[in-house]
């Protein structure tokens, strides 16, 4: 059936999704203005409840339009019309979009004494249209003469063309609206001025000239006052059209318009979510009287521009969302999601062509130091520069950022391992730089792990996991390295990881699986026990008893060594109490090994203080065995920790003496009770000349500093004899006693 301008405007409105109630109401009001026969519009939910209404529907009903919201539309009709309405719309929501029904009848007026009004209804289906999902009702006043037909017009036909000729590109759509408007109005120019968000001024977006049949590019960017007509700025905020049929000669505010030959002017606001967003304006070079139909048409064209603008903004937002879904916001590189798609394509192609795929996982070395010392802005700049470098070095290969300082390069279509090794070396070389950030010295390098299809795996997750494992192998090897996935090493490290998890459970258990054995230290002359070294053991439920060298790395990796040290110190103090209760004269000190992490964390003094206080143990009964590397960090002793331990009164014993730092000055400064000669120097005695020379020198140093000496690893009498002859007073080793349980030790001291 023919459509009026008002109907077309309503169709135009619901073509776009996501419009809120304010925009729908504004469109309906413009529709009523454009076609006097349309007295009201309403949008119904699929269940026929009124969502929003506008126009003269309030006058028909005797209530405000807002009071109709939520009411089934048939309640607004008399009984006979309501039945006809229900029959007409039954099944309409399941019919095609824009399917419509028409009927005539009576609309109720609930005001006291008011008569019902005769109306004509058109109901159009838009159920399922995103952002609308309803039925559009157009109401015409039929008066005493029955239904009013919808008039067709030249402007209505032109508006229909504007409706169906929509484009995804905003400027292209805008140009179409402006051209159609200029042709329909037969006016010289039609343009759109958008409100600048910063200045609040109207700035020209596009102007179409009908005589020249093109867009006037020299108008673009021009503020509205320069055009010469100032009233639309005020009318914009009033949300009302402005029609000027003859620009007077004496109005200074319009001289610019006359200078450009403009004599007649017509504008309407463009609203976005009910707020002013700009102005659409038509201008002519001769005075003219603007008709109501032309004013309504420009208002309708303004609606078209608002819908086009909203669609463009929505497309821009959707584009940004799409970009964020697949690309990294900082670098513009593909993110993890797009990487998986690229990998899926690469693996499929490799399977078909019998080629290989290399996954290079790249992690920057010391990037955290850059962030912590130079700040996140420098860190972000560094990441962007690294991304640009990877694009250049990788060439056409897929490059992605996983997040943080991790990147991936997918190298496909090669046959020989050397090819991907060459690329990895190029990447490592390109990233070993200090000038990534201008005017900032930030030395970085990269650890690169490589996993290969098909030999290392055939699944995306497997290849990424193995490339990550290889990268961490490169990290553990010092960084700035390239490592291919090594299954044997991976399995060994996986076992260590599992061992660490099991160790954590063992330490946290109510009945710890850890226990202590004690190895005596003896006087070389009397062979009497003068000291004990506490040695921790782990009674693993599956693997049996494990020595420290089997789980100490797992303890340090899992940050469990401090907890283990605490347990050992407390257990040693508890054992001293038990032995003293059984043997009041017991006075043999116990040595406890302390790892470097605990000594450097400044928690050791508090730990020892707690154990001594809890069990009321004399500090002289506890010696702490530490290596030279533990005591001396960066060439200096950790004086704070050492000072606190000195104040506690516990002894300090240097373990593995002679294997660490070459300077001996610290022996004079530190509160050391004894040194232990490492077993590597004892093993070849007395037949190894070098070993003999080293032991002789170490004993001389100890005598000079008046330190007791304990030789470790004494297994044979000839070793013991040589050491004793050289002046070594104490020794420890299986020759005298192997590590023993507390019960066995009690047999020795009884």
pLDDT tens per residue, range 205-247:
888 888 788 888 888 888 765 445 555 555 556 667 888 887 7
Higher pLDDT: 152 or 597? It is: 597
Q: Mean per-residue pLDDT for 311-334?
A: 81
In angstroms, the Cα distances linking 354 to 10, 316, 347, 414, 461 are: 59, 42, 10, 9, 20
Give the tokens for residue 496.
């260590």
Q: Is the pLDDT of residue 68 over 60?
A: yes
Rounded to whole angstroms, the Cα distance separating 420 from 484 reads 10
The per-residue pLDDT for 666 is 67
Quick one: which of 32, 35, 81, 78 has its CA closest to 53?
A: 32
Does the pLDDT value for residue 155 go beyond 60? Answer: no
- Residue 60: phi, psi to the nearest 5? -65, -40
| Between residues 228 and 186, the one the model is more confident about | 186
Other C-beta atoms lying within 10 Å of the C-beta of residue 264: 21
Q: What is the pLDDT of residues 708-748, one digit of tens each?
A: 999 999 999 999 999 999 999 999 999 999 999 999 998 88
**Higher per-residue confidence, 251 vs 15:** 251
Question: How many CA atoms lie within 13 Å of 364's alpha carbon, on the beta-carbon side?
Answer: 32
- What pLDDT was estimated at residue 31? 38
C-alpha span between 310 and 299 (Å, rounded): 16
Residue 511 banded pLDDT, cuts 50, 70, 90: low
Mean pLDDT of 287-306: 82
- From 339-353, 411-425, 642-656, the region with the lowest mean pLDDT: 642-656
Half-sphere exposure of 381 toward its Cβ, with a 13 Å CA cutoff? 15
445: helix, strand or coil: strand
Banded pLDDT at 464 (limits 50, 70, 90): very high
Looking at residue 59, its pLDDT comes to: 67
Q: Is it the case that residue 128 has pLDDT exceeding 80?
A: no
List, for residues 250-295, the tens digit of each pLDDT value: 454 455 555 467 778 888 888 877 778 888 888 888 888 888 888 8
d(CA 644, CA 652): 12
Average pLDDT over residues 489-494: 84
Q: Before 433, cis peptide (omega within 30)?
A: no
Say which range, 260-274, 476-490, 644-658, 718-732, has the weakest mean pLDDT: 260-274
Mean pLDDT of 356-382: 90
Q: Which CATH number is 336-485 given?
A: 3.30.70.270
For 506-749, which CATH superfamily applies? EAL domain (3.20.20.450)
Both tokens of residue 596?
């470097």
Can you tell me the distance from the alpha carbon of 116 to that of 60, in angstroms, rounded to the nearest whole number?
A: 8
Q: What is the model's pLDDT at position 163?
A: 45
Confidence tier at 201 by pLDDT (50, 70, 90): confident
Q: In this model, does residue 428 exceed pLDDT 90?
A: yes
CA distance 585 to 588: 9
pLDDT greater than 70 at residue 145: no
* Beta pairing, strands 214-215 & 202-209: antiparallel
Higher pLDDT, 585 or 271: 585
The CATH superfamily of 8-142 is PAS domain (3.30.450.20)
Dist. CA 710–CA 259, nearest whole Å: 107
SS3 label, residue 697: helix
Q: What is the 3-state secondary structure (H, E, C) of 143-210?
A: CCCCCCCCCCCHHHHHHHHHHHCCCCCHHHHHHHHHHHHHHHHCCCEEEEEEECCCCCCEEEEEEEEC
pTM: 0.52
Q: What is the mean pLDDT of the chain?
A: 80
Q: Above 60 in pLDDT, residue 474?
A: yes
Q: Give the helix/strand (H/E) hosting 673.
A: strand 672-677
- 38-44, strands of its sheet edge to edge: 50-55, 38-44, 134-141, 117-126, 100-107
Average pLDDT over residues 353-371: 92
Residue 110, CA distances (Å) to 75, 79, 566, 624 in order: 11, 14, 86, 97
* Confidence band for 517, pLDDT divided at 50, 70 and 90: very high
Mean pLDDT to the nearest integer, 163-188: 72
Question: Which band of pLDDT confidence, cut at 50, 70 and 90, is reported for residue 116?
Answer: confident
Asked if residues 319 and 170 have their Cβ atoms less than 8 Å apart, the reply is no
What is the rounded average pLDDT of the residues 684-691? 92
The closest alpha carbon to 464, from 345, 390, 351, 359, belongs to 359
- The predicted pLDDT at position 638 comes to 60
**What local confidence, expressed as pLDDT, does residue 11 receive?**
33
Q: For residue 681, what is the enclosing H or E element?
A: helix 679-682
CATH homologous superfamily of domain 165-319? GAF domain (3.30.450.40)
Q: What is the mean pLDDT of residues 651-675?
A: 75
Higher-pLDDT residue of 654 and 658 is 654
Domain extent listing, the chain: 8-142, 165-319, 336-485, 506-749
Of the pLDDT bands very low, low, confident and very high (cuts 50, 70, 90), residue 344 is: very high
Q: Helical H runs in 327-443?
A: 336-353, 367-374, 376-394, 417-431
- 350's tokens: 């490799």
Q: Residue for token digits 């459509």?
A: 3
Look-up of token digits 């508090």: 606
Six-digit token string for 716: 């044979």
Q: Where are the beta strands (DSSP E) in 504-602?
A: 514-523, 529-540, 544-546, 590-593
* Separation between Cα atoms, residue 91 and residue 123, nearest integer Å: 12
pLDDT for 677 equals: 92
Domain 8-142 matches domain 165-319 at the CATH topology level: yes
| Sign, CA torsion 460/464/465/470 | positive
| Signed CA dihedral, 366, 371, 372, 378: sign only | positive
Other C-beta atoms closer than 10 Å to the C-beta of 705 total 12
The per-residue DSSP string of 611-665 comes to HHHHHT--GGGEEEEEEHHHHEETTEE-HHHHHHHHHHT-EEEEEEETSS-S--T
CB-based burial label for 309 (10 Å; 0-12, 13-18, 19+): buried
């Amino acid at each position: 059936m023919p459509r009026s301008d008002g109907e077309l405007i309503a169709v135009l409105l619901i073509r776009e999704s996501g419009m809120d109630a304010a925009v729908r109401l504004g469109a309906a009001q413009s529709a009523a203005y454009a076609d006097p026969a349309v007295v009201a519009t309403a949008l119904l939910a699929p269940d026929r409840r009124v969502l929003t209404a506008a126009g003269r529907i309030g006058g028909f009903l005797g209530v405000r339009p807002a009071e109709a919201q939520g009411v089934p539309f048939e309640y607004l009709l008399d009984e006979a019309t309501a039945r006809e309405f229900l029959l007409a719309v039954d099944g309409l929501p399941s019919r095609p979009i824009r399917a419509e029904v028409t009927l005539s009848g009576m609309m109720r007026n609930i005001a006291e004494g008011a008569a019902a009004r005769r109306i004509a209804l058109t109901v159009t289906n838009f159920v399922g249209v995103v952002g609308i999902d309803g039925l559009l009702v157009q109401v015409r006043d039929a008066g005493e003469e029955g239904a009013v037909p919808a008039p067709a017009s030249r402007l209505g036909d032109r508006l229909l063309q504007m409706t169906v000729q929509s484009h995804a590109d905003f400027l292209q759509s805008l140009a179409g609206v402006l051209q159609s408007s200029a042709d329909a109005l037969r006016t010289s120019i039609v343009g759109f001025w958008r409100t600048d968000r910063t200045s609040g001024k109207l700035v020209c977006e596009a102007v179409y000239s009908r005589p020249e049949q093109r867009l006037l590019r020299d108008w673009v960017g021009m503020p509205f006052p320069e055009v010469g007509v100032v009233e639309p700025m005020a009318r914009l905020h009033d949300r009302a059209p402005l029609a000027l049929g003859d620009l007077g000669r004496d109005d200074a505010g319009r001289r610019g318009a006359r200078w450009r030959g403009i004599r007649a002017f017509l504008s309407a606001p463009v609203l976005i979510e009910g707020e002013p967003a700009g102005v659409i304006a038509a201008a002519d070079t001769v005075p003219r009287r603007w008709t109501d139909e032309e004013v309504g048409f420009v208002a309708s064209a303004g609606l078209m521009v608002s819908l086009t603008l909203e669609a463009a903004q929505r497309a821009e937002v959707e584009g940004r969302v799409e970009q964020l879904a697949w690309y990294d916001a900082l670098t513009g590189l593909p993110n993890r999601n797009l990487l998986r798609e690229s990998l899926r394509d690469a693996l499929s192609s490799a399977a078909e062509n019998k080629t290989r795929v290399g996954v290079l996982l790249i992690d920057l070395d010391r990037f955290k130091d850059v962030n912590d010392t130079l700040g996140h802005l420098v860190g972000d700049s560094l990441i962007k520069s690294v991304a640009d470098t990877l694009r250049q070095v990788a060439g056409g290969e897929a490059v992605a950022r996983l997040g943080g300082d991790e990147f991936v390069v997918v190298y496909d279509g090669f046959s020989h391992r050397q090819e991907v090794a060459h690329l990895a070396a190029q990447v490592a070389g390109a990233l070993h730089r200090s000038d990534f950030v201008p005017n900032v010295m930030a030395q970085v390098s990269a650890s690169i792990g490589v996993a290969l299809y098909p030999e290392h795996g055939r699944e995306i997750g497997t290849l990424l996991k193995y490339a990550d494992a290889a990268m961490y192998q490169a990290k553990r090897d010092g960084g700035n390295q390239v490592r291919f996935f090594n299954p044997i090493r991976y399995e060994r490290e996986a076992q260590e990881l599992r061992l660490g998890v099991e160790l954590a459970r063992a330490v946290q258990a109510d009945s710890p699986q850890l226990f202590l054995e004690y190895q005596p230290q003896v006087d070389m002359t009397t062979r009497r026990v003068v000291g004990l070294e506490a040695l921790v053991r782990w009674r693993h439920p599956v693997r049996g008893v494990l020595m420290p060298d089997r789980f100490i790395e797992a303890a340090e990796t899992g940050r469990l060594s401090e907890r283990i040290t605490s347990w050992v110190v407390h257990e040693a103090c508890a054992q001293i109490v038990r032995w003293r209760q059984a043997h009041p004269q017991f006075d043999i000190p116990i040595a406890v090994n302390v790892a470097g992490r605990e000594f450097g964390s400044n928690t050791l003094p508090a730990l020892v203080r707690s154990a001594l206080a809890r069990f009321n143990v004399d500090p002289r009964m506890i010696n702490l065995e530490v290596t030279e590397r533990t005591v001396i960090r960066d060439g200096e002793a950790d004086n704070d920790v050492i000072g606190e331990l000195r104040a506690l009164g516990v002894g300090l014993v240097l373990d593995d003496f002679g294997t660490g730092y070459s300077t001996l000055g610290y022996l004079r400064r530190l509160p050391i009770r004894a040194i232990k000669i490492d077993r590597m120097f004892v093993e070849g005695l007395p037949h190894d000349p070098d070993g003999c020379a080293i032991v002789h020198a170490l004993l001389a140093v100890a005598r000079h500093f008046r330190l007791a000496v304990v030789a470790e690893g004494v297994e044979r009498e000839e070793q013991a004899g040589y050491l004793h002859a050289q002046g070594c007073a104490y020794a420890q080793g299986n020759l005298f006693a192997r590590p023993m349980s507390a019960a066995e030790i009690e047999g020795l001291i009884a």
